[in-house]
Amino acid sequence: MHDVSALGANIPALGFGTFRMPDADVHRILPAALKIGFRHVDTAQIYKNEQAVGDVLKSSGIPRQDIFLTTKVWVDRVGHDAFIASVDESLAKLKTDYVDLLLLHWPQSEMPLADRIGALNDLRKAGKVKNIGVSNFSTALMAEAVKLSDAPIVNNQVEYHPYLDQTKVLAEAAKTGMSVTAYYLMADGAVPKDEVLKDIGAKHGKTAAQVVLRWAVQQKDVIALSKTATESRLPENFEVFDFALSEEEMQAVHKLARPNGRIVSPGHLAPDWDK
């Protein structure tokens, strides 16, 4: 596996996501993911599983510095003190002195963006976070966040899969050296059933899911989050570095994008998306 280097952050290109993963599943599947070789773990305050993630990482025997750990601050942490306190709570649950990457989970909040970015910077100065970033930000908000921050904004974590064109977000990220983390890569179960993706996979002895994970990590400065609660699928998700897609195959995947491809867009949280 390679790392994506972005403004001083070295982020393993393939991460293990824990969205909608109850504690019991985290305790069962995350140890197996670590055993197979995953070293990038993604969680969030709103997932309600930071404690379980912390338990597994603490008991894994893997040195803390060998894990890249991401969490995200929820939108209701309003006011500087409440924001900082929530991160201290996350660190306690995660059983660590720092996280490698702390993201603002969604752009909409009663706390102004300037104040939230200021809090991220203070946490970085205090050594509680190594790197700061955002999630679900449009290109306009990405540019605004960069302007507001003293420290580099190293990542924007967004929905990205073959049916959603994120060219504009990727171009905006490239302007400042920011990386992009792709979530929902399986497009709510559409990817494994896609005939185009299955055909490409057949040429490489790979599944449609592996094709899409490979498509993501083969793009410059893109990190892919994979997620499964099924242990037998872990090797499939991890084994995407032993083949490469041709330029023609990469384009064939890109061509699956459609205007209504976005799946995740809660009205009270989402920005005005790029058209």
pLDDT in tens, 47-80: 999 999 999 999 999 999 999 999 999 999 999 9
Amino acid 269: pLDDT = 96
| Mean pLDDT computed over 250-274 | 97
- Band of pLDDT at residue 171, cut at 50, 70 and 90: very high
Per-residue pLDDT of 27-44, as tens digits, reads 999 999 999 999 999 999
Per-residue pLDDT of 97-125, as tens digits, reads 999 999 999 999 999 999 999 999 999 99
To the query of whether residue 47 is one of the catalytic residues in this protein, the response is: yes
Do residues 154 and 6 touch, judged by C-beta distance below 8 A?
yes
Amino acid 140: pLDDT = 98
Q: Which residue among 47, 160, 163, 183 is the active-site one?
A: 47
CA distance 149 to 114: 8
Any binding-site annotation on 161? Answer: no
What CATH class is the domain 3-187+219-229?
A: alpha beta
What does the buried/exposed string (b/e) look like for 58-91 if buried means 16 or more CB atoms within 10 Å of the residue's CB? eeeeeeeeebbbbbbbbbebeeeeebbebbeebb
Cβ-defined contacts of 188-196 (< 8 Å, 24+): 188/263, 190/161, 190/163, 191/161, 191/162, 194/162, 194/256, 196/252, 196/253, 196/256
| Mean pLDDT computed over 21-30 | 98
- Band of pLDDT at residue 21, cut at 50, 70 and 90: very high
Mean pLDDT of the chain: 97
Amino acid 105: pLDDT = 98
Per-residue pLDDT of 206-229, as tens digits, reads 999 999 999 999 999 999 999 999
Residues 6+ apart with CB under 8 A from 183: 17, 19, 157, 158, 159, 160, 225
Amino acid 92: pLDDT = 98
Amino acid 27: pLDDT = 98
Amino acid 86: pLDDT = 98
| Mean pLDDT computed over 83-108 | 98
Amino acid 251: pLDDT = 98
End-to-end Cα, the chain, rounded Å: 33
CA distance 275 to 114: 25
